[in-house]
Structure 1
Amino acid sequence: MELEFSDGSTMELEYNDSRTIFDEPVETSFIKIKILEVESGTKYQNTCVSELKAL
C-alpha cells in the first residue's frame, strides 16, 4: 500500500495487515491510498478493505 499526502510526498507500507505507527506526526489535508498488490480470492473479483483509521 502506498500513501500520498497533500504535499506530494509518499510513503510505502510493507505490512498492509497490521497497524502502522509513524515516527513523527504527518500534517496533511488528505491521504490518497494506492493498493499496490492484492491476493486473489476464491469467490469474489473485488478488493475488500475492512478498516482504515487516521488519528
Structure 2
Amino acid sequence: MRDDTAAPVRGRHLKALRACALRPLGLRRGVYTSAMPVLVLVARGLVEEGLTRWK
C-alpha cells in the first residue's frame, strides 16, 4: 500500500517555510528560489505564489 504522506521538511526548505511564517505579507521573488516551488506543493495551502504588487 502506498503512503501519500509528505516527507518531513528539512534544510533549506525548512528555512524558507520559517521565513514565510515570519513575513505574512510575502517574500521577495528572489528569496529561496529553489525551495519555493517545492513548498507550494508540500505546504498545501500555507505557501502560495502570488502576484507582484510593487515594481
TM-score of the two chains, using structure 2 as the length reference: 0.29
Q: Which structure dedicates a bigger proportion of its chain to strand?
A: 1
The structure with higher relative contact order (CA 8 Å, sep 6+) is: 1
Q: Which structure dedicates a bigger proportion of its chain to helix?
A: 2
TM-score of the two chains, using structure 1 as the length reference: 0.29
